[in-house]
Amino acid sequence: MEKDIPLIDALIGYAFKFNHLDERPIIVQSKRGDIVKPGDIKEIPNLGMPVYTKPYEFGSLIIKFNVTFPVNLNNEQLNGLKSIWTNSPIPQSDMNTEKVTAQSYDIERLKQRMKQQEYQRQNEGGDSDEEGGHGRNFSSNCTQQ
């Protein structure tokens, strides 16, 4: 089974209900203090699929957890989190230090840019190894240490 849980439940505890194969309602809950990380796998003995040739015995139910993170936080949520956790210290800066802000990574934009660069290379007149040009061969530029 795969189960999506919100970040808050991953941190402070989860509980969810599902119907077993035999239609019994089951509530699954975490142990107090356990934190679930994205991709964690948990096991519940005797609640999985029936054992071959033993229809009244069940194997383990395996649950893979997907932790869903909030898209953004409002000021009240940020202040609440700051009241229980502290940020990493902000590095000291001076006149020569450039401050930048990271932005969301768009893999599709990168792929498009790489396609455009490849198209330009091909149209500049044989800049690849196959065509006898001076394409980049990184392995030949590396020296053994």
Higher pLDDT, 12 or 98: 12
Which tens digit of pLDDT belongs to each residue from 60-117?
899 999 999 999 999 999 999 888 888 777 788 888 877 666 666 778 888 888 888 8
- Report yes or no: 42 and 31 within 8 Å, Cβ to Cβ: no
Q: Can you give the residue range of the structural domain that contains 16?
A: 2-84
**Pairing verdict, β 2-6 and 61-68:** parallel
User: Is a pLDDT exceeding 80 seen at residue 142?
Assistant: no
Biggest distance spanned by C-alpha atoms of the chain: 75
User: For residue 57, is it within any domain?
Assistant: yes
pLDDT at 137: 47
Name which residue leads in pLDDT, 56 or 99.
56
Q: Is residue 74 a part of any domain in this protein?
A: yes
Residue 143 lies in a domain: no
In a domain, 89, yes or no: no
Q: Does residue 131 lie within any of the structural domains?
A: no
Domain count across the chain = 1
In a domain, 125, yes or no: no
* pLDDT per residue as tens digits for the range 21-42: 888 899 999 999 999 999 999 9
Q: What is the pTM of this model?
A: 0.60
Whichever domain contains 48, its CATH number is 2.60.260.20
Nearest to 26 by CA among 3, 7, 53: 3
Give residue 141's pLDDT band: very low, low, confident or very high (50, 70, 90): very low
Domain for residue 20, yes or no?
yes
Q: Is residue 38 a contact partner of residue 28, using CB atoms and an 8 Å limit? A: no
In a domain, 78, yes or no: yes
